[in-house]
Structure 1
Amino acid sequence: MADPTPASLVVQLLAILGRDKDRLGRIDDYLHGRHDDPYMPAMADDEYRLLAKRAVSNWLPLLVSTPTQALYVDGYRAGDEDRQRSATDLTSPQWEHWQRSRLDARQSAVYKGALTYGHSFTLTERVRDAVLTKGLSALRTAALYEDPANDDTPHAALTVTAWPSGESVGTARMWDSRSEYAVTFKSLDDADGVRVGKGRRHGASECPVTRFAASVDLEGRTVGAVEPMIPLQNRINQTIFDLLIAQTYASVKVRTVSGMAPPVQRNPDTGEIVYDEQGNPIPLAINHNAKRFLFAEDPDVKFGSLDETPLGGFIESIDMSIRHLSAIAQVPPHHLLGQIANLSAEALQAAETALSRKIQEFRTVFGEAWERVFRLAAELEGAAGADDFKGEVIWRDMEQRSLAQAADALGKLREQLGIPAKGLWKRVPQVTQTELDEWDELAEDEDSVGQLATALTRATPEPVTADSVAVAA
């Protein structure tokens, strides 16, 4: 079967963007607080609608930012046996590419995109005299796979650089396994309006776009952290809206009076009662508030009150919904509720277990994607490592431990298991790669000085003394 033409690939990729546009747009709206209104009567007035806007309590960004803040690539260990490097080597071509692309700061955007929409992308390409990697948004980018559940390398990928607006057409870039194409299009579903320019070689042996998927099932579908939580977010908003309604209209006691007619308007000159057009007396407005008392001269007048609506049930319902959100999203409740009083270190660690497992899963899938990025960069730069499938990225240890606890644990590993001290350096809390490299250089200098001192000691003859002669005799 002949390979599809670039134009047919573009049509398929634009169709994917059109198919996912509404779903990803809804996810984007919920992430940024643009939620569906809670249920309210059809004849709701402006005050109700204002309370509905104030009822939006957006918890979804926390579900994305919490695991993202624990994802930080801190190094790369090459797997090539001829070029075996340590995780602290700042001169490896892979890490030079990372720093040149400023991915220390930009990697978080890639993870947030993947956790929000289910997937995000990176593009590795030659820009003038340097090979750089940058992130691509899932709202603008689509990729085709022969086996979307198992393939890491896309058959083709497209990203929109400008959406069509009015009379102006949209523009995009498309890559296949050999070439890059400039694309113009009128709309996502208009195949006749697609125009594809002449291709130019991008320099890699495969499509230079890499997918970062938070979770992929065997059907090739990707799911992020936001979409499954939308129903729970709506439930929380509805409960908060009901709380605001009760708080606004029924949270105070209502005073009642029966058997008393209100005062009516009278003509100031004649003292006669003033009537409206229907012949009814016009009542005067009663200025009544919490500072005033009601009294009546007629003994048959009865005063009473209606109790306020208790708000505790609404608050407990909100708390329960947030705990459900926490359990389903595998985010500890104290991250959402802020309730960490009287919790021991063991209890906190147990609460963090589910989140730690989730983060480890993300590190595994994202690490594979970064390794493909490093192979692409090595191939485009003509450096070694283009076929290094044994390399692995090094993730920073973000677990909070005191330096004293870590030192005690590392000392026991050194003494009891005989692990070399240098192999334990990277487990020191909050140590940076620059510090590790500096320690490596200092250790080499100390070792060189020690070896020189030993050699000088052995080469220097001991002085001859009377005692030594007597001993020799």
Structure 2
Amino acid sequence: MAALTPTALAVQLLAVLGRDKDRLNRIDDYLHGKHDDPYMPAMADDEYRLLAKRAISNWTPLLVNTPAQALYVDGYRAGDDKGKGSATDLTSPQWEHWQRSRLDARQSAVYKGALTYGHSFTLTEHAKGVVLTKGLSALRTAALYEDPANDDTPHAALTVVAWPSGESAGTARMWDGRFEYAVRFRSLDDADGVKVVKGKRHGASECPVTRFAASVDLEGRTVGVVEPMIPLQDRINQTIFDLLLAQSYGSTKVRTVTGMAPPVQRDPETGEVVYDEQGNPTPLPINHNAKRFLFAEDPDVKFGSLDETPLAGFIESIDMSIRHLSAIAQVPPHAMLGQIANLSAEALQAAEISLSRMIQEFRTGFGEAWERVFRLAAELGSAAGVDDFTGEVIWRDMEQRSLAQSADALGKLREQLGIPAKGLWKRVPNVTQTELDEWDDLADEEDSVGQLASALTRATSDPEPVTADSVAVAA
């Protein structure tokens, strides 16, 4: 990328935000239940519009939360001099930076932002005398890359601190490979209104903003899990709206009567018929309910009924649309429909294979991004690991398995394949890195105590009895 002035970079980055604003805001609206209205007649009354609001059934948070809840970094294994991963050390500078930045809790927001909009960002910087990493929203942040499909280091990045309001200009922060700049702007598309204050060094050798992308194609485009599902979400809303209409207006039988005039209102004093403004007799309301019978003295009167509208077809259509949504989004049907009765463990595992593969893809991409964050933190904090490209983050095993099944499987691996016991500890369900370190210390203590006990036993054991042969040999 040709060298650009800071002002030109700021103009380009603000233009990127302006270009993506409508698309990202629409995704954000769908995430929070602000969907397009179902189709309805142009002359629809207030009752129709009320049913349209009630027809919104927001499935998009489930599409984001299901994979996000399986993404949890539990440790970091630094690389050694031979290019291999060393044992996880919870006292390493990288993990201390993680804990100091409170990323145990804040990492989820980064993943959800990337899964929702296609990408999110983190900023690693000096703050209050220490190096911290925090998340940045895709709605406020843009980055420029020389090769957006393959580069993990942006040429420059900008995040909006405050949007323009009235006469007040908007403010933003911008970073390139060496400096941080303060930016003021009037609007996202007003190049003449952009002002950049002289920058200050941020301390890193490259832009300190890191992109977390859910999916990147060879054109550098990022796509989340919400945008492709919007048409299906609209289809579900439309079907539910049609169901509510049929339920409200046609789900009960309609009683009909022919050949009989309704009773009319009469003046209580004169007994004469009361007419309305149009000159028609004013009918009396008929008090009819399920406890009353209809009868007539005139034999020509005919009673009948109009059948109710069956609702089963609407319900089946909703169920089918949700299954389509489940298949395309790679979310197990039982997670969306709640139908888990009479499913074996093997059937549940087979249903979640597609989701597991998608989660593994996300872990690969997000893991590379975290490794860059750790390298940036090491550089800014003057710690080891600046050039550590062999380290890796440790993801928590979130698969649901019973402890008894896992213990049985691990025991067979130990006995039949001869795998060391310590090598199987990490496969214990829901074990944390802290527990693994504690187990390792306890195992070392038990081994030391065992060796000491064996030595004492040998030292205090009775000497071998004296025999004639031993005396002869001594002689």
Task: Return the TM-score normalized by structure 1.
Answer: 0.96
Q: CA deviation at 1:382?
A: 0.6
Which deviates the most, 411-420 or 72-81?
A: 411-420
Q: CA deviation at 1:45?
A: 0.4
In the alignment, structure 1 residue 472 sits paired with structure 2 residue 470? yes
Q: CA deviation at 1:2?
A: 5.4
Which deviates the most, 420-429 or 29-38?
A: 420-429
Q: Is the 8 A contact 1:87 1:394 kept in 2?
A: no
Which deviates the most, 329-338 or 86-95?
A: 86-95
Q: CA deviation at 1:294?
A: 1.8
Question: Hey, what does 1:391 align to over in structure 2?
Answer: 391
Q: Is the 8 A contact 2:83 2:390 kept in 1?
A: no
Question: Hey, what does 1:202 align to over in structure 2?
Answer: 202
In the alignment, structure 1 residue 225 sits paired with structure 2 residue 238? no
Q: 1: CA distance between counterparts of 2:394 and 2:134? A: 20
Which deviates the most, 114-123 or 447-456?
A: 447-456
Question: Hey, what does 1:135 align to over in structure 2?
Answer: 135
Q: CA deviation at 1:80?
A: 2.3
Query: Once the two structures are superposed, what CA deviation does each residue of 1:276-324 show, in whole Å capped at 9, x if it has no partner?
Result: 3333222222232333322222111110000000000000000000000
Matched AA of 1:141: T
Question: Hey, what does 2:277 align to over in structure 1?
Answer: 277
The alignment partner of 1:305 has SS state of strand
Which deviates the most, 415-424 or 262-271?
A: 415-424
Query: Once the two structures are superposed, what CA deviation does each residue of 1:61-88 show, in whole Å capped at 9, x if it has no partner?
Result: 0010000111111111111227977554
Q: 1: CA distance between counterparts of 2:354 and 2:197? A: 49
The alignment partner of 2:164 has SS state of coil
Q: 2: CA distance between counterparts of 1:189 and 1:207? A: 24
Question: Hey, what does 1:331 align to over in structure 2?
Answer: 331
- Cα separation, partners in 2 of 1:433 and 1:461, compared to 1, 3 Å: closer
Matched AA of 2:134: K
Question: Hey, what does 1:445 align to over in structure 2?
Answer: 445
Q: Is the 8 A contact 1:88 1:436 kept in 2?
A: no
Q: CA deviation at 1:471?
A: 5.3
Q: Is the 8 A contact 2:252 2:307 kept in 1?
A: yes
Aligned pairs for 1:336-375 within 5 A: 336-375=336-375
Q: 2: CA distance between counterparts of 1:469 and 1:457? A: 23
Q: 2: CA distance between counterparts of 1:144 and 1:80? A: 33
The alignment partner of 2:466 has SS state of helix
Q: CA deviation at 1:462?
A: 5.4
The alignment partner of 1:216 has SS state of coil
Query: Once the two structures are superposed, what CA deviation does each residue of 1:236-286 show, in whole Å capped at 9, x if it has no partner?
Result: 000000000000000000000000111112111111112233332222222
Q: Is the 8 A contact 1:80 1:385 kept in 2?
A: no
- Cα separation, partners in 2 of 1:206 and 1:93, compared to 1, 3 Å: same
Question: Hey, what does 1:28 align to over in structure 2?
Answer: 28
Question: Hey, what does 2:4 align to over in structure 1?
Answer: 4
Q: 2: CA distance between counterparts of 1:402 and 1:252? A: 49
Q: 1: CA distance between counterparts of 2:19 and 2:91? A: 44
Task: Return the TM-score normalized by structure 2.
Answer: 0.96
Q: 2: CA distance between counterparts of 1:225 and 1:84? A: 34
Q: 2: CA distance between counterparts of 1:304 and 1:112? A: 58
Q: Is the 8 A contact 1:161 1:173 kept in 2?
A: yes
Q: 2: CA distance between counterparts of 1:71 and 1:200? A: 36
Aligned pairs for 1:143-222 within 5 A: 143-222=143-222
Q: CA deviation at 1:407?
A: 1.4
Q: CA deviation at 1:446?
A: 2.1
Query: Once the two structures are superposed, what CA deviation does each residue of 1:147-203 show, in whole Å capped at 9, x if it has no partner?
Result: 000000000000001111111111110000001111111110111111111111111
Question: Hey, what does 2:65 align to over in structure 1?
Answer: 65
Q: 2: CA distance between counterparts of 1:100 and 1:129? A: 12
- Cα separation, partners in 2 of 1:131 and 1:83, compared to 1, 3 Å: farther
Q: CA deviation at 1:463?
A: 4.2
- For structure 1, the residue ranges without an aligned partner over 5 or more in a row are none
CA RMSD between the two structures:
1.6
Percent identity, aligned pairs only, is 85
In the alignment, structure 1 residue 80 sits paired with structure 2 residue 80? yes
Query: Once the two structures are superposed, what CA deviation does each residue of 1:380-421 show, in whole Å capped at 9, x if it has no partner?
Result: 111110100000111111111111211121122222222221
- For structure 2, the residue ranges without an aligned partner over 5 or more in a row are none
- Cα separation, partners in 2 of 1:438 and 1:191, compared to 1, 3 Å: same
Q: Is the 8 A contact 2:378 2:384 kept in 1?
A: yes
Matched positions, count: 471
Q: 2: CA distance between counterparts of 1:277 and 1:236? A: 47
- Cα separation, partners in 2 of 1:107 and 1:464, compared to 1, 3 Å: closer
Question: Hey, what does 1:264 align to over in structure 2?
Answer: 264
Q: 2: CA distance between counterparts of 1:142 and 1:214? A: 16
In the alignment, structure 1 residue 49 sits paired with structure 2 residue 49? yes
Q: Is the 8 A contact 2:239 2:317 kept in 1?
A: yes
Q: CA deviation at 1:18?
A: 0.4
- Cα separation, partners in 2 of 1:63 and 1:41, compared to 1, 3 Å: same
Matched AA of 2:264: V
Q: 1: CA distance between counterparts of 2:4 and 2:229? A: 39
The alignment partner of 1:81 has SS state of coil
Aligned pairs for 1:229-244 within 5 A: 229-244=229-244
Which deviates the most, 417-426 or 22-31?
A: 417-426
Q: Is the 8 A contact 2:145 2:155 kept in 1?
A: yes
Q: 2: CA distance between counterparts of 1:148 and 1:308? A: 58
In the alignment, structure 1 residue 292 sits paired with structure 2 residue 284? no
Q: CA deviation at 1:92?
A: 1.0
Matched AA of 1:28: D
Which deviates the most, 33-42 or 262-271?
A: 262-271
Q: 2: CA distance between counterparts of 1:236 and 1:24? A: 22
Q: 2: CA distance between counterparts of 1:260 and 1:201? A: 92
